Copies of this chain bind each other. A is one copy, B any other.
């Protein structure tokens, strides 16, 4: 299967798929014309990668997960541990974004948003020194 079709099936862009080959995540064969020829195996891997990435796993996590996926003697504990670490990072990120959202929405509420220069948002950002 050519890269374009694989792209359509996996939802990954052609560029991304080539990039994943560059960094060694997949190794498609090559036809006589130099075109990449993807076997079922690689198509599955790419779909796997697409889903893992959409869950926010890093490329490095993906590499490990893929290796576990292919290792029939894996322990599910190894997978779970990666997932748990990742979950923790996600939760931290959510917490920090929530904090930003909270501050920001308060500031927005307080700002008149009209033609006048007076602005609580800028006041907060400048640390409440005088606004020139």
Contacts and interface: CB of A to CB of B under 8 A. Distances in A.
Interface of A: 44, 47-48, 51-52, 54-56, 65, 68-77, 79-81, 83-84, 86-87, 90-91, 93-94, 97-98, 100-101, 103-105, 107-108, 111-119, 121-122, 124-127, 129, 131-132
A75 B116 contact: yes
Given A69-B125, A71-B117, 14 more contacts: A52-B125, A54-B100, A55-B100, A65-B122, A75-B117, A76-B118, A77-B114, A79-B121, A79-B122, A80-B111, A80-B119, A87-B108, A91-B101, A97-B97
Chain A contact residues: helix, strand, loop or mixed: helix
A124 to B, nearest CB: 7
